[in-house]
Amino acid sequence: MDDQEALQQTLNRARRALQILEEQKAGYGIRVPVDFQIEIEEKQKEVYSLEARLNKLQENFLTNAPNNLPSYNQQSSTHQLPANQQKEVFISYTWRDNHSPLFVEQLEKAFQEKSIKIIRDKGEIAYKERFQQFMQRLSRGKCVILVISDQYLKSENCMYELVEIAKKGNLYHRIFPIVLADAKIYKAIERIKYVEYWENKIKELNDAMGKVNAANLQGFREEIDLYTEIRSMFANLTNLLRDMNTLTQDIHIQSDFEALFKAIEKSLDE
């Protein structure tokens, strides 16, 4: 057994262990024990480390391959795919402001020219189809572009998507964020305002539910559980987003989204 095969088997075992932990975590709901969360994070780090080592081995193998084999550097970064084999990338954004959809239109056009299809709610959710079904499909995507705006961070649907992406695991490697100028996540005092927003949403709905008979409140309880889950995960999610160099909206537009495209293409090819 060569090094690559042995490392791949180790990675497969680590991924399976992480999947089991994630399934167990789902059983806790929103009250995940701290020590269990730490165990999951350690297993995630192990998976990321093994993936990086395996990728390095594969790159070295391709670089040193015989001349009759195509090397990694010889492969075209803009190769065209047949229409029925186009690469798919999901995008999570909000319709609650005017600038996010316009930005997404520009991004979608740029990626179409590079034979990468952007999967978004527009055109994917037909009449009477369920939004949650699409959001679950998005949350399982290998590559998900996040267009983070102020209203995104206040949207139940958008935050539901982000929370579900995180719960599916491998969050850092699967998301490709673009933080718009109005999303105030870089200073603690600004992030706390979003936490306060969700705490107020919890209180508002909780108070309203207290005014009616407790029977048959299914659906309302699920919504308050969602608000609580968003509130509990908000700090960790935004800490990750603010620590990533997401480039500015203007840089992406001026470069025709080149950096984003290259990062996603690399991920899709892995």
Q: What is the pLDDT of residues 44-97, one digit of tens each?
A: 788 778 877 776 776 565 455 444 433 333 333 333 433 333 468 999 999 999
CA separation for the pair 163, 234 (Å, rounded): 9
pLDDT at 79: 37
pLDDT at 45: 80
Does residue 181 contact residue 248 with C-beta atoms inside 8 Å? yes
pLDDT per residue, tens digit, the chain (270 aa), is: 567 778 778 888 888 887 788 777 777 766 677 778 788 878 878 877 887 777 677 656 545 544 443 333 333 333 343 333 346 899 999 999 999 999 999 999 999 998 888 999 887 888 888 888 899 999 999 999 999 999 999 999 999 999 999 988 889 999 999 999 999 999 999 999 999 999 999 999 999 988 888 777 877 888 999 999 999 999 999 999 999 999 999 999 999 999 999 999 999 888
Residues 6 or more apart whose CB falls under 8 angstroms from that of 7 comprise 50, 53, 54, 57
pLDDT at 40: 82
The residue among 54, 33, 35, 32 whose CA lies nearest residue 43 is 35
- Give the CA count within 13 Å in the CB-facing half-sphere of 23: 6
pLDDT at 77: 37
pLDDT at 197: 97
pLDDT at 75: 37
- Residue 162: both structure tokens together: 């982000």
CA separation for the pair 108, 102 (Å, rounded): 10
pLDDT at 214: 77
Distance of CA 79 to the CA centre of its chain: 25
Helix axes of 131-139 and 156-167: crossing angle, nearest 10 degrees: 40
- Give the CA count within 13 Å in the CB-facing half-sphere of 102: 6
pLDDT at 132: 85
- Residue 165: both structure tokens together: 């992406």
pLDDT at 74: 36
Helix, strand or coil for residue 135? helix
pTM: 0.68
Q: In 10 A of CB 132, how many CB atoms?
A: 11
